[in-house]
Structure 1
Amino acid sequence: MSNLTKRPDEAFDQECSEPAGCKEVELLIEPRDRDLGGFSVRRVLPTIQKRMVGPWIFFDHMGPAEFAAGDGINVRPHPHINLATVTYLFEGEILHRDSLGSLQPIRPGDVNLMVAGKGITHSERERPEITATTHRLHGLQLWMALPEADEEIDPAFYHYASADIPRVDVNEVPIRVIMGSAFGKTSPVKVFADTLYVEAHLKAGQSIKVPDADERAVYIAAGELCAGDTTIPEFAMAVLSDKPGLELTAKRDARIAIVGGENLGKRYMEWNFVSSRRERIEQAKAQWKAQTFPKVPGDEEEFIPLPE
């Protein structure tokens, strides 16, 4: 999705707290709903207190939303630089198009990885067969910063079918290793730095040990967890400490995403642009305003203007 905020600091007003005396949780982030025109997202990252967790600099929880026939996702072409987007759906379908000529519907359990590198344009809409009927959409979209050495690589797009994402049961907890390595499994999804992204479904009373990483956090897409003495409510993210063997326990049935990885250092972010260099963002803004970014084949007529 495009970042619809007009100022660089508008995305940073989530409710954050530091649980007193908790050795497991460093920061609790409770996002506010944002209306994107017909459906809402919960913007979790970035915040003023925590801009990134490992390479992850942007984290949106989309929906769940129900659309009447004739309505749906309709995100016009927009640009990105120096980052990679990861889209993962729980329900529904999105049709991805980009300036490389990619045309790919993403469905629940699949992973779409779009590497912006030196610059890419893409749109997110729905197929007519989907919009013709009442339908739902629910999922996560994340952006990860690229290491400085990879920021200006050629753009690329990768699609991974649900069946190719590793699954494992640990103490009867079903887990999917979406990116990186954890629980004895390694995902085929391409990474550029040490990256962690794991999904798990816990029944009330079940526990999971958090994989080791330089930085890590857990998001509660449904249900409720506890880490030590801290309760992590539904739709909240807990930035976790580096305590070895840290364990999460479900207080009620829960669907969670554990993310993290290598700290890549400071990044600047404005609109849909992320970079280690502020001047590179200014250059990208000027390029988009002049419409010199590549066009999306089959979706050349519309675009999202640069917010003023």
Structure 2
Amino acid sequence: MSNNELPVNQRQSDVGNFMVGRLLPFRKKRQVGPFTFIDHMGPATLSAGRYMDVDQHPHIGLSTLTYLFKGRVEHKDSTGAHQIISPGDVGFMTGGSGVAHTERTPEEDRTGEDIELHGYQVWVALPKEKEEIDPHFDFYPAADNPKWEEDGVAFKLVAGKAFGKSAPLRGYSPLFMVDIHTEREKTINLAGQVAGEIAFVIVKGSITSNGQKVEAGQMLISKTDDRCEICLDSDTQLLLFGGEAFPEEHFLLWNFVSHSKERLQKAKEDWQNKVFPKVPGDNTYIPIPDYQQSKK
């Protein structure tokens, strides 16, 4: 890793030209390109009585991107979409003006046997002019996403444009998300390969910068756009993501994202008053926590 990156751990800090911390958002960096929030699912072992059951909850002003390494998640939402997401697949739900959804372990996987679940869900904020588009769900099977190997490094393009390739999932603003794995120690120069702000989530293994190891579960954010060099230790996997930043500020309130604080307040009231669209046949409801909105 060159000195234009900033690593971020749970005690957020600077290392050279990187920030390092515990996923998004964190104190020193609220957004990377359009990426607003990252939720790390697992790695966890699920079994009878401990299956994944996330009841009905809402979103506005963003798209959720679900990407798994192990296990399966059953997605249902208020548009009527119903999809089982398996490893390598990409589920992309656009909340727009308002959507509700559930995420559960599929019924056929509830056999009592142990199930491994590991993956990420990231929130991608919508540009101001697209925040109120109609909600919908898109699904991209693993086989449709570009994969290639270069100098012993394996790449999978999850979304957007990077390394001269395009994924079926393009998003609503310029962005990229790439799954990278190497068995041997490697240095990757990203100059000219991606455009916009750059960040990395270390899935396994580690990256070494200025003599300091940044390990699995941590995130690195480049302090400079478009260019940086990263040094991956052996048997390391990471997610590379980012894109062009929005010209206006975005704000976050619970599961809602918007450039307007007033719109966030209305979404909160709509959910409390139960006027959001509902997942067909599902009467579950997660109440909004009692906390203040935070700036994104």
Query: Aligned with 1:283: secondary structure?
Result: helix
CA distance in 1, matches of 2:278, 2:194: 41
Q: Does residue 1:110 correspond to 2:89, yes or no?
A: yes
Give 2:66's aligned residue.
Answer: 87
CA distance in 2, matches of 1:125, 1:205: 37
Aligned pair count reads: 279
Give 1:99's aligned residue.
Answer: 78
Give 2:216's aligned residue.
Answer: 234
Query: Aligned with 1:281: secondary structure?
Result: helix
> C-alpha displacement at 1:184, in angstroms?
2.2
Give 1:184's aligned residue.
Answer: 164
Give 2:20's aligned residue.
Answer: 28
CA distance in 2, matches of 1:159, 1:119: 19
Q: What pairs up with 1:40-189 in 2 under 5 angstroms?
A: 44-132=23-111, 133-189=113-169
Distance verdict in 2 for CA 1:296–1:244, change over 3 Å: closer
Deviates more, 1:225-234 or 1:110-119: 225-234
Query: Aligned with 1:288: secondary structure?
Result: helix
AA aligned opposite 1:267:
H
Query: Aligned with 1:59: secondary structure?
Result: strand
Query: Aligned with 1:252: secondary structure?
Result: coil
Question: Structure 1: which 5+ runs fail to align?
Answer: 1-12, 32-43
Q: Does residue 1:15 correspond to 2:7, yes or no?
A: no
Question: Structure 2: which 5+ runs fail to align?
Answer: 1-8, 291-296
Asked whether the 8 Å contact 1:118–1:153 carries over to 2, the reply is: yes
Give 2:243's aligned residue.
Answer: 261
Asked whether the 8 Å contact 1:167–1:174 carries over to 2, the reply is: yes
Residues 239-262 of structure 1 show CA distances to partners (whole Å, capped at 9, x for unaligned) of 013376522222231110001101
Residues 51-105 of structure 1 show CA distances to partners (whole Å, capped at 9, x for unaligned) of 0011001011111000123431000000000000000000000100000001100
Distance verdict in 2 for CA 1:245–1:280, change over 3 Å: closer
Query: Aligned with 2:143: secondary structure?
Result: helix
CA distance in 1, matches of 2:195, 2:227: 12
CA distance in 2, matches of 1:302, 1:218: 35
CA distance in 2, matches of 1:269, 1:56: 12
AA aligned opposite 2:12:
C
> C-alpha displacement at 1:228, in angstroms?
5.7
What TM-score do the two structures reach when normalised by structure 2? 0.90
Give 2:289's aligned residue.
Answer: 307
Distance verdict in 2 for CA 1:120–1:216, change over 3 Å: same
Give 2:5's aligned residue.
Answer: none
CA distance in 1, matches of 2:210, 2:180: 19
Distance verdict in 2 for CA 1:243–1:104, change over 3 Å: closer
Give 2:204's aligned residue.
Answer: 222
CA distance in 2, matches of 1:278, 1:243: 28
Name segments (4+ residues, structure 1) moved above 4 Å. 227-230
Percent same amino acid at aligned positions? 38
Asked whether the 8 Å contact 1:173–1:208 carries over to 2, the reply is: no
Give 1:39's aligned residue.
Answer: none
Asked whether the 8 Å contact 1:71–1:131 carries over to 2, the reply is: no
CA distance in 2, matches of 1:245, 1:126: 39
CA distance in 1, matches of 2:99, 2:210: 43
Give 2:278's aligned residue.
Answer: 295
Give 1:213's aligned residue.
Answer: 195
Give 2:253's aligned residue.
Answer: 270
> C-alpha displacement at 1:231, in angstroms?
3.2
Deviates more, 1:285-294 or 1:198-207: 198-207
CA distance in 2, matches of 1:127, 1:186: 31
> C-alpha displacement at 1:190, in angstroms?
3.2
> C-alpha displacement at 1:227, in angstroms?
4.5
